[in-house]
Each structure stands twice: as C-alpha cells, then as structure tokens.
Chains A and B, each alone.
Chain A
C-alpha cells in the first residue's frame, strides 16, 4: 500500500482511469458495429478498396491499440493500489 498520497487524489485518478478503460473498450464497438450506416458505402475509395472494406480493415489495427491502452491503464491502476 503506497503512503504519502492523499486518498482523494488516488481515488480520483483511479476513477479517471476507470473511465478511460471503459471508453477504450467501447470505442471498437462504436466504430465497427453501431456506426455502420455512416460508413457503409463504396466511395471514397482507399487504396483501391471500397470505403467499407478499408474502414473495417483499419479497425483490425485500431482495436489492438485500444486494447493496449486498456491494458496499460488497468496495469497502472493495479500499481497505484
């Protein structure tokens, strides 16, 4: 248990980290699933691919990045406890 920090700011930073975690976890769902009417089209083409294909391929790379953010922020809050 770490001493020398007021419990108020520690709890506060943990709450903020909790929100970041939730947000990062939900971001792929928003981008890949719920927003489909927004990006389900052929134009503009990206590298020759229809936009919907390129969008989903992009999220295949973005999702690990989001999860990495969750991994780091929950590891950080584990260390802070």
Chain B
C-alpha cells in the first residue's frame, strides 16, 4: 500500500469507528428536545469536563495555532493567553447562568435573553447573530478536515471532495447522536489527540534540533523578530494582543454551544471546579506551537501555514502514524463541528423560526426541524469553506468578534438590574455593526486595536447608556 493510501485508510477507519460509537451512544435514549440539546441535565463532573475540554481543543488549536506559529510568530501567543482568562470569566459567569438556566428550563443562549428580558424578538436577534457567527467556526473545522485529507493523500484527493465527505459524515453523525453521542466520541478524540500532540510536540524538537533550547537558539539566530510581537506581521503588536486577548476571553463563555454544554451539568459547583482546572488543559498548546516554529526552519516554503503540522508529520514519521495523527485531527474537527451544528440548528429552529414564523409549533416539531437544519447549516459552512481563503485562526477571530457582543447583555443581565431590553438590542446592533464595518473596510486592526474589541466597547457604552436613560422614558410612557 502506498504511503498515502495507508494514511487515508487509517483516518477513515478512525472516523468510521467514532461515528458508529456516536450513533450507538446517541441511540440509547429517546431523543426529545431536552435530551438532544442538554442531555437531560444529568451529566456528571467527568462527562461535563470532557465535553467542555473537548471544545477547547479543536482544529483551531491543532492546525490553526500551529499555522499561525509558522506564518506569524509571536502573535499566536494570544491563544495561550486567552484560554486561562476565559476560564476566569467563566468561573464567575457560568454558575449564575446555570442557576438561571435550571430555574427557567433554558436550553439555548437565546432562551436566556427571551426569559431575562421578556422579549422573543430579542431572542430571535440573538439567535440570528449566534448562527451567523457559529458558521465561521464551523467553516474552520470543515477546512481543517479538508487540509487533513489533502496532506495525507499528498494532494491526490483535492480539498473539495475531502470536505464533501466530511460534510456527509458530520451531518449523519450529528443527526443521529445529539449531544450525548457527541460527548462519548469526545472521550475518544481527547485521548487520541493528547497522545498525538505529546508524541509529535516532544519528538520533533529533539529529532531535528537536539532539544527545545537548541531549537529556539536556531530560531533566534534565523529570525529573531518572529518570536516577539509583532512577529512576522506589521500590525499585530501589543495593543492588538491586549484587545484580542480580552475580546476572546470575554467571548469564551458566550459561545452558544458552550452554553448548552454547561447547562448539561448537574450543579453550579461542577462548573466552578471545571473552570478551575481547565487552564491546565491548555498545556498542550505550546507543544503545537513548537511544531509550527520548527517548521519555519524545516519547511520554509509552505504556501499555507495551516499545512505546517501535517506536512512536518508527513516528513518525519511513517505513513501509519500520519494516519493516526490525521485521524485524531479529523475527530478534533468532527466533534466540535457536531457541537456547533447542534447549537446553530437548535437556535435556528427554536429561537428564530418558531417565535417569528410558527408560534404554534410543538417541541417535538422544533426538534425535527432542528435535525433537518443540520444539513442546511453544514452546507452553508461547506460552501464558505470551499471558497474561503482566510487562515483558520482568522476564521475563529471572526467568530469571536461577533459572539463576544453577547457579553454586555448576559453579564449585565445577570448582575445589573437597571439594564433594559431596548438597550441590549441597541448595544448588540451597534457592536455588530461597528465590527462589521471595520472588518469589511479592511480596518482590522483599527489603530492597532482589534476591530471586534472596538465594537464591544461601543456595545457596552450603548447598553449601559441607554439603560440609564430609559427610566425617564418609562415614566413618560406610563403617564401616556
């Protein structure tokens, strides 16, 4: 068997086994909306930890962060920075959110806005924004899958057919399993990914350079600017780092799929303890960065930085190991993809379609619509992945720019009584609008600042400002 065939066969084998596991695990309970989205709220500490930790480790870290280490250098350190800070914010916000979620039987992030602000239209807006910005994250996973197949087959299988296969597998997997099936495959994925990253990340520096110290000495000699901000870019300096880290940290608990996973926990304290230990999970990220940096010296002419990890593995290890790495990478894309699709389709069916177009829909009908939307959402992400050209990290940053805009509404909604729903809506629209305008006009970073962060600041100002103004209007409308 040729090298490529070996690698591809192994990847397909791993993915098929995982899909079967997911479908089996998912089929052991009847699937109502509650089971499908939040697993009936009975997941214990271990399963919740795996589910949440599994979401921290996606194609973004495995391929994307490695890619940025290769092409941009020091700016990739924002990834190592924002994850612990996201845990700190989650530690305070998520337990409160869980209590509200349990008391009002919330299933989606949009439900929180509906219940807290008593507005189905605000919930629909949140759902629309949520779905829109989940898609780049999903696109990232599908692109990653395409890259895996492309490199494993030595460019014999093109990216497009690879992504089409990925699309079908993922859609089938999600449709059948729901969150419970996904949680079990997450276990397999994490185990495989951990082993893979440890082996690759620890051996490559030693194999080629004789250790980390000699590797960094060589890197420093070849290109010292690469290792400190702004690395090999012109505009990603200290201000960008600070604003991007803050934007991302604040956005971590705001992801709709994260919200559902947290609701599945058995207690608020489970979430606090999770938040405490999760930063340690990020220990594997630096290993991935080492591989990317090594690749700058070993494979200097890669067109696309996102290929660095797999290309270097292909160069260094036998084909069967490339297959294992590829398989791990494929699961690292499929499991988060499944979770993202679940969230997006549930948001779409429950918080956008039902309240706005079909208020009489039953919960069972919503669940059926959500399962059918799976294909629609994945299809859109697939189309974008086939025609897109952003790096994997750039895609996630785009997602964060939108999702972080929920932060004022959620946090002020949980902790600040004067907040008003019109203020939240206005803040959201201003934040998204400003961010979109800056990004579309090529102003990211804007005066060195992350564009999404600028939008978030405007959002916060508007939300707080309008909330403080409205009491006067309410007095006026009471008199009217």
B84 sits at the interface (CB 8 A): yes
Return the chain A residue nearest B212 by Cβ.
Answer: A48
A19 sits at the interface (CB 8 A): no
Whether the Cβ atoms of B88 and A33 lie closer than 8 Å is no
Given contacts A33-B246, A40-B228, A52-B77, contact A60 B279 (CB under 8 A): yes
Q: Which residues of B contact A47 (CB under 8 A)?
A: 212-213
Return the chain A residue nearest B245 by Cβ.
Answer: A33
Return the chain B residue nearest A67 by Cβ.
Answer: B276
Question: How many Å lie between the Cα of A74 and that of B349 in the bound state?
Answer: 39
Whether the Cβ atoms of B85 and A29 lie closer than 8 Å is yes
Nearest 3 Cβ contacts at the A-B interface: A48-B213, A63-B84, A48-B212
User: What mask results when residues 268 to 292 of chain B are scored 1 for a CB within 8 Å of chain A, else 0?
Assistant: 0000110111011011001001000
Question: How many Å lie between the Cα of A70 and that of B212 in the bound state?
Answer: 35
Whether the Cβ atoms of B213 and A45 lie closer than 8 Å is yes
Given contacts A53-B286, A67-B91, contact A33 B85 (CB under 8 A): yes
Whether the Cβ atoms of B238 and A52 lie closer than 8 Å is no
Can you pick out 26 interface pairs between chain A and chain B where the beta carbons lie within 8 Å of each other?
A29-B85, A29-B88, A32-B81, A33-B241, A33-B246, A36-B238, A36-B241, A40-B228, A42-B220, A45-B213, A47-B213, A49-B213, A49-B216, A50-B216, A50-B227, A52-B227, A53-B77, A56-B80, A59-B81, A60-B80, A60-B283, A61-B280, A63-B87, A64-B276, A66-B88, A67-B275
Given contacts A25-B92, A45-B216, A71-B276, contact A32 B228 (CB under 8 A): no
Return the chain A residue nearest B220 by Cβ.
Answer: A42
A37 sits at the interface (CB 8 A): yes
B179 sits at the interface (CB 8 A): no
| Chain B interface, DSSP helix/strand/loop, else mixed | helix
B260 sits at the interface (CB 8 A): no
Select which of A34, A50, A52, A64 is within 8 A of B279 by beta carbon: A64
B242 sits at the interface (CB 8 A): yes
Q: Which residues of B contact A45 (CB under 8 A)?
A: 213, 216
Whether the Cβ atoms of A59 and B276 lie closer than 8 Å is no
Given contacts A57-B286, A60-B84, contact A52 B74 (CB under 8 A): yes
Whether the Cβ atoms of A63 and B279 lie closer than 8 Å is yes
User: What mask results when residues 3 to 43 of chain A are scored 1 for a CB within 8 Å of chain B, else 0?
Assistant: 00000000000000000000001001100111011001110
Whether the Cβ atoms of B213 and A40 lie closer than 8 Å is no
Within 8 A of A (CB), among B343-359: none
Whether the Cβ atoms of A56 and B81 lie closer than 8 Å is yes
Question: How many Å lie between the Cα of A60 and that of B286 in the bound state?
Answer: 11
Q: A: which residues have CB within 8 A of B?
A: 25, 28-29, 32-34, 36-37, 40-42, 45, 47-50, 52-53, 56-57, 59-61, 63-64, 66-68, 70-71
Given contacts A32-B81, A50-B216, A52-B77, contact A63 B228 (CB under 8 A): no
Whether the Cβ atoms of A67 and B87 lie closer than 8 Å is yes
Whether the Cβ atoms of A70 and B91 lie closer than 8 Å is yes
Q: Which residues of A contact B242 (CB under 8 A)?
A: 33-34, 36
Minimal beta-carbon separation of B254 from chain A (angstroms): 17
Within 8 A of A (CB), among B217-233: 220, 224, 227-229
Q: B: which residues have CB within 8 A of A?
A: 74, 77, 80-81, 83-85, 87-88, 91-92, 211-216, 220, 224, 227-229, 238, 241-242, 245-246, 249, 272-273, 275-277, 279-280, 282-283, 286, 289
Return the chain A residue nearest B228 by Cβ.
Answer: A40
Q: Which residues of A contact B277 (CB under 8 A)?
A: 64
Q: Which residues of A contact B276 (CB under 8 A)?
A: 64, 67-68, 71
Q: Which residues of A contact B220 (CB under 8 A)?
A: 42, 50
Question: How many Å lie between the Cα of A64 and that of B276 in the bound state?
Answer: 5
Q: Which residues of A contact B241 (CB under 8 A)?
A: 33, 36
Question: How many Å lie between the Cα of A57 and that of B272 in the bound state?
Answer: 22
Question: Apart from A25-B91, A49-B216, A56-B81, what 11 extra A-B contacts exist at CB < 8 Å?
Answer: A36-B229, A36-B242, A41-B228, A48-B214, A50-B220, A60-B84, A63-B85, A63-B87, A70-B91, A71-B91, A71-B272
Question: How many Å lie between the Cα of A33 and that of B279 in the bound state?
Answer: 15
Q: Which residues of B contact A70 (CB under 8 A)?
A: 91
Q: Which residues of B contact A66 (CB under 8 A)?
A: 88
Question: How many Å lie between the Cα of A53 and that of B220 in the bound state?
Answer: 13
Whether the Cβ atoms of B212 and A33 lie closer than 8 Å is no
Return the chain B residue nearest A25 by Cβ.
Answer: B88
Return the chain B residue nearest A56 by Cβ.
Answer: B80
Question: How many Å lie between the Cα of A47 and that of B140 in the bound state?
Answer: 34
Return the chain B residue nearest A29 by Cβ.
Answer: B85
Whether the Cβ atoms of B216 and A60 lie closer than 8 Å is no
Q: Which residues of A contact B91 (CB under 8 A)?
A: 25, 67, 70-71
Q: Which residues of A contact B213 (CB under 8 A)?
A: 45, 47-49
Whether the Cβ atoms of B238 and A40 lie closer than 8 Å is yes
Question: How many Å lie between the Cα of A61 and that of B71 in the bound state?
Answer: 28
